[in-house]
C-alpha cells in the first residue's frame, strides 16, 4: 500500500517523514526540503493512506443522520432579520475502549467504499458543515461546527470535544480538503490524538513503513 518507485533520496524521505509527523503541510515541507510540491503532496497522502489502513472503519448509523437540517442561527447583516442556514452532517465522534474514533456519514462513506465494510455506530457527537450556494468538491473547515448527538450528554463528552478542538486546529492548516480524501485526514487526526508524543508517532510510523515493504 505504501511502497512504490520514487525518485526521493533516503535523506529526503527521512526529512519529509519528520516534517509530516511534526504537523507540517505538504507545501511547507516542499519549500523546506526543496522537493517538488506534487512529490511532497503525494508522499504525505501515501502516509495518510498507510495510517488509515491501520485503524478500524466506522459509519454513522442511519437513525442519526437527517437528510439536511436547517437552523435559524444567522442574521442578515443588511436587514437584521434571521436567515435560515442549512447544515449537513459530515461525521460522528464516539469513545470506545478509552479511544476516540470518527465515523463518516453514509453518503461520504459511499465515496470511499473501496475500503471495505464499516461498522455502524451511535456517535456521542456530530460535526456538521454549513451548506453554501453551489456545490464544491472540497470542505472548508471554517464552516464546520460540533454538536452533541444526544441531549444531556455534554458532561460525558469532554474528551470528544477536546479531540475535535485539536483536530480542527490541525485541519485548519489546509486550504480546503477534498471530500474524497477527507476520511484520510480524519484518520490522521485520530492517530495523532491517541499518541501525542511525536517521538512515539515517528517510531510507530517508521515501523508501519518498514513492514509495508516486506
Give percent above pLDDT 70 in the chain: 80
Tell me the three cell numbers of residue 58.
466506522
Chain segment 143-183, per-residue pLDDT in tens: 888 888 765 455 567 889 999 999 999 999 998 899 889 99
39/26 Cα distance (integer angstroms): 9
Closest CA to 103 of 13, 187, 199, 11: 187
Count of domains forming the chain:
2
Q: Is 121 in the same domain as 168?
A: yes
Distances (CA, A) of 9 to 3, 27, 48, 153: 14, 18, 20, 51
Same domain, 63 and 93: yes
Under 8 Å between Cβ of 104 and 91: yes
Closest among 9, 102, 15 to 59, alpha carbons compared: 102
Query: What average pLDDT does this structure show over 106-116?
Result: 74
| Residue 39 shares a structural domain with residue 129 | no
Do the domain assignments include residue 33?
Answer: yes
- Does some domain include residue 16? yes
Cα 91–Cα 69–Cα 108 angle in degrees, nearest 5:
30
Are 46 and 76 in a shared domain? Answer: no
Q: Are both 161 and 68 inside the same structural domain?
A: yes
CB burial of 61-73 (b: ≥16 within 10 Å; e: otherwise) equals: beebbeeeeeeee
The average pLDDT across 46-59 equals 94
- Identify the band that residue 113 occupies on the pLDDT scale cut at 50, 70 and 90: low
Residues 45 and 67 in one domain: no
| 150 and 68 in a common domain | yes
Question: Distance between CA 34 and CA 10 in Å, rounded?
Answer: 14
3-state secondary structure of 128: strand
Instruction: Find out whether 65 and 149 touch, Cβ atoms under 8 Å.
Output: no
Closest by Cα among 179, 30, 211 to 90:
179
Neighbour count for residue 113 (Cβ, 10 Å): 11
Give yes or no: residues 36 and 135 share one domain.
no
Mean pLDDT score of the chain: 84
Q: Is the CB of residue 92 less than 8 Å from the CB of residue 101?
A: no
- Domain co-membership, 206 together with 130: no
Q: How far apart are CA 48 and CA 20, in angstroms?
A: 10
Binning pLDDT at 50, 70 and 90, where does residue 214 land?
very low
pLDDT(40) > 90: yes
Residue 124 lies in a domain: yes
Residue 138 sits at φ, ψ, to 5 deg, of -125, 155
Question: Do residues 34 and 107 both lie within one domain?
Answer: no
Q: Which of 12-16, 30-34, 59-63, 155-159 has the lowest mean pLDDT?
A: 155-159
Q: Are 82 and 74 spatial neighbours (Cβ–Cβ below 8 Å)?
A: yes
pLDDT confidence of residue 88? 84
C-alpha cell at 121: 455506530
Q: Is 125 domain-assigned? A: yes
Q: Do residues 71 and 158 share a domain?
A: yes
pLDDT(1) > 50: no
Q: What is the mean pLDDT of residues 122-139?
A: 80
Tell me which residue range forms the domain holding 133. 58-187
Region 57-75: what's the mean pLDDT?
Answer: 67
| pLDDT of the residue at 48 | 97
Same domain flag for 44 and 137: no
This prediction's pTM: 0.84
Amino acid at each position: 500500500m505504501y511502497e512504490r518507485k520514487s525518485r526521493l533520496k533516503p535523506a529526503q524521505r527521512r526529512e519529509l517523514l519528520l516534517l509530516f509527523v511534526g504537523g507540517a503541510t505538504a507545501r511547507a515541507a516542499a519549500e523546506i526540503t526543496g522537493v517538488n510540491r506534487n512529490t511532497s503532496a503525494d508522499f504525505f497522502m501515501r502516509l495518510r493512506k498507510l495510517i488509515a489502513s491501520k485503524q478500524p472503519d466506522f459509519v454513522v448509523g442511519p437513525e442519526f443522520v437527517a437528510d439536511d437540517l436547517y437552523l435559524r442561527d444567522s442574521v442578515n447583516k443588511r436587514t437584521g432579520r434571521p436567515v435560515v442556514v442549512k447544515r449537513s452532517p459530515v461525521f460522528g465522534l464516539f469513545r470506545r475502549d478509552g479511544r476516540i474514533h470518527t465515523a463518516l456519514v453514509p453518503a461520504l462513506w459511499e465515496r470511499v467504499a473501496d475500503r471495505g465494510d464499516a461498522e455502524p455506530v451511535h456517535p456521542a457527537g456530530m460535526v456538521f458543515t454549513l451548506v453554501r450556494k453551489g456545490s464544491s468538491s472540497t470542505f472548508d473547515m471554517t464552516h464546520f461546527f460540533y454538536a452533541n448527538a444526544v441531549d444531556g450528554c455534554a458532561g460525558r463528552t469532554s474528551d470528544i470535544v477536546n479531540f475535535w478542538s485539536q483536530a480542527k486546529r490541525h485541519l485548519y492548516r489546509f486550504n480546503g480538503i477534498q471530500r474524497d480524501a477527507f476520511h484520510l485526514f480524519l484518520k490522521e487526526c485520530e492517530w495523532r490524538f491517541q499518541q501525542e508524543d511525536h517521538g512515539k508517532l515517528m517510531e510507530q510510523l517508521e515501523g508501519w513503513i518498514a513492514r509495508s515493504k516486506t
